[in-house]
Amino acid sequence: MPQLADQQFFDRLAELNEKFAGRLPATLERLAALSRQIDRAADEGTGAGTGTAAAAAELGAMLHTLAGSAATFGFRELGHHARLLEQRLRVLTTFDRVAAADWLIWRGELDEYIAAAQRDPKSLR
């Protein structure tokens, strides 16, 4: 009987792995769209204004979710890098005023992460 339960567990885990992998392209596209919102705010000189704050909050939540779940589904590097980006974002959003250049540097790192994840989400090379 334990073998049946084990098989059911691994079948369910494989199903969840497939769902995670299937949703990943849409997740990466949403991250890219939010990154562009931050870029526009920086270009307009609004820095960490309302639009950036809303985009940053959603980005933070998405990166947190990726960081927490990616390793479970076989995407260890994806999760690790998401955690690093989330932590740096948390620092940026802690301050009332952040230079546009700091947002652009972080956004560049996010864009590199997205591009690498789109190429090979399991190894991020």
Environment class of residue 43 by beta-carbon count within 10 Å: exposed (0-12), middle (13-18) or buried (19+)?
Answer: exposed
Q: For residue 23, what pLDDT is reported?
A: 96
Note down the domain range covering 81.
2-119
* Number of domains forming the structure of the chain: 1
The helix, strand and coil proportions of the chain, stated in percent and rounded to the nearest 5, come to 85, 0, 15
In a domain, 88, yes or no: yes
Using 50 as the pLDDT threshold, list the residues of the chain that sit under it: 45-48
Among left, alpha and beta (phi > 0; psi -120 to 50; other), residue 33 is: alpha
Give the model confidence (pLDDT) of 56-73 as tens digits: 899 999 999 999 999 888
Helices (H), 44-99: 50-69, 76-94
In a domain, 13, yes or no: yes
